[in-house]
């Protein structure tokens, strides 16, 4: 086999794995929305976090080798931002289409990427992201109305995504590969008890539990594994550029699974955000990690 063909074949499998991770994450979000009538959006987020924590605890046992005297500030902050991000994002999905919510949320980590850049030319991507946000938000530019409250929740989730990246890096430096598992367990300890106090046993309905397990698998365990597989095999810029497809995958999932058909102006806004993200990756700016936990 020629070297170029061998190289292309070596890239194909991780690329397909990354695409599968995106599809899995969005499919998980569609399952989570089915839980909203049963336990509400915060309850669905709590159940997802709990299912993810149980799966990661069994699969990784992240407490092994853990010292009680070790640095805990970063890992606690990581767990808090992770849980808050998931809760706000699910709350936004009550009134905002999945693809639009994902695109708006992308503004947060894109801001982290731009903040790390010192190139004046990268202001182009900032302007493109701002233009995309203007097209997505309900500010009277002639496009369909999007619920402002839901849009602000998605934007707040994006801010938490930015903090998730910052604290996640610090937690990783302190706790290595166990950081993700420890973070989601801490998130479960913080976000599940309040929902139990509010909803009691009704949080764990027979209809909600199978959906929660599916969401935990599709939105955390499976995409996390696939993304780690792809991240170690793809060039950084290619990985970052492909991650820019996430809003489009979300929009397609929303259309096929939930009947959320977007207007052309909304697609234009999403494409602008995706273009800004891809441009940031290709220009060498630090690209946002995906919130797969």
Q: Is residue 4 a part of any domain in this protein?
A: no
Q: Which residues contact 138 (CB under 8 A, 6 or more apart)?
A: 145, 146, 147, 148, 151
Average pLDDT, the chain: 83
Q: What is the mean pLDDT of residues 168-189?
A: 79
Residue 262 — pLDDT band, cuts 50, 70, 90? confident
Please state the domain count of the chain. Answer: 1
Q: Tell me the pLDDT band of 65, cut-offs 50, 70 and 90.
A: low
Residue 146 in domain:
yes
Cβ 292 vs Cβ 183: under 8 Å:
no
Distance between CA atoms of residues 282 and 60, nearest Å: 34
Determine the structural domain holding residue 160 and report its residue range.
Answer: 26-282
pLDDT for residue 161 is more than 60: yes
Q: Is residue 13 part of a domain?
A: no
Identify whether 236 is part of a domain.
yes
């Amino acid at each position: 086999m020629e070297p170029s063909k061998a190289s292309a074949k070596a890239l194909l499998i991780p690329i397909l794995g990354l695409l599968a991770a995106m599809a899995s994450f969005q499919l998980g979000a569609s399952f989570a929305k089915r839980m909203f009538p049963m336990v509400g959006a915060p309850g669905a987020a709590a159940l997802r976090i709990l299912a993810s924590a149980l799966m990661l605890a069994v699969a990784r046992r992240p407490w092994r080798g853990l010292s009680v005297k070790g640095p805990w500030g970063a890992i606690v902050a990581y767990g808090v931002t992770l849980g808050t991000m998931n809760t706000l994002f699910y709350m936004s999905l009550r009134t905002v289409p999945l693809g639009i919510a994902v695109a708006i949320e992308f503004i947060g980590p894109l801001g982290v990427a731009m903040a790390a850049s010192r190139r004046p030319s990268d202001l182009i991507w900032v302007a493109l992201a701002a233009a995309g946000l203007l097209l997505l938000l309900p500010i009277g530019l002639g496009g369909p109305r999007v619920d402002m409250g839901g849009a602000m929740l998605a934007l707040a989730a994006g801010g938490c995504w930015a903090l998730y990246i910052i604290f996640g890096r610090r937690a990783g430096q302190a706790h290595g590969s166990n950081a993700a598992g420890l973070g989601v367990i801490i998130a479960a300890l913080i976000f599940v008890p309040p929902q139990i106090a509010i909803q009691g046993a009704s949080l764990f309905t027979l209809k909600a539990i199978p959906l929660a397990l599916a969401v935990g698998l599709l939105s955390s365990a499976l995409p996390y594994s696939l993304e780690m597989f792809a991240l170690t095999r793809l060039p950084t810029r290619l990985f970052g550029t492909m991650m820019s497809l996430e809003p489009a995958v979300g929009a397609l999932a929303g259309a096929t699974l939930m009947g959320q058909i977007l207007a052309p102006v909304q697609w234009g806004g999403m494409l602008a955000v995706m273009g800004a993200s891809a441009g940031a990756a290709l220009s060498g700016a630090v690209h946002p990690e995906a919130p797969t936990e």
